[in-house]
Amino acid sequence: MLNDKEKMVSDGNKEVRKVQLTELKMIQDLTILGSDDSADFFCDVNTGICGPVPEKKEEEK
């Protein structure tokens, strides 16, 4: 699905080179490693806000 989207973007702009998208398929089955800590310190990709984020959020994924 994403591969198709990427191709459409590329086709819509002739000036832009095509990007190799094979890696997208390779990392679909990731094992997410948890933490012993009660919170992870990262920057939330949706809000851009950085701080301690409860581990529960990652487990919900």
Partner 1 sequence: MKITIWSDFVCPFCYIGESHLEEALKKFEHADEVEIEYKSFLLSPESQYTPGKNYYQAFADEKGVPLEQAKAMMGQVLDMAKQSSVSINYDIAKFTNTVDAHHVFQYAKAEGKGNEFFKRFYDAHFNEGEVLSDNETIVRLAKEVGLDEVKVRNIIETKEYSNELTHDLAESRQVGVQGVPFFVFDNKYALSGARPAEYFTQVLEKVWEEKESK
DSSP 38: S
Q: What character string, x for contact with partner 1 (CB under 8 A) and - otherwise, covers 2-41?
A: x--xx--xx--x-xxxxx-x-xx-xxxxxxxx-x----xx
Minimum distance of partner 1 from residue 30's CB (angstroms): 4
- Residue closest to 40 by CA, chosen among 61, 19, 21: 61
Residue 54 in the binding site for partner 1 (CB under 8 A): no
Which two three-digit tokens encode residue 55?
């581990």
The rounded distance, in Å, linking the Cα atoms of 9 and 19 is 11
Q: Which residues form the interface with partner 1 (CB under 8 A)?
A: 2, 5-6, 9-10, 13, 15-19, 21, 23-24, 26-33, 35, 40-53, 57-58, 61
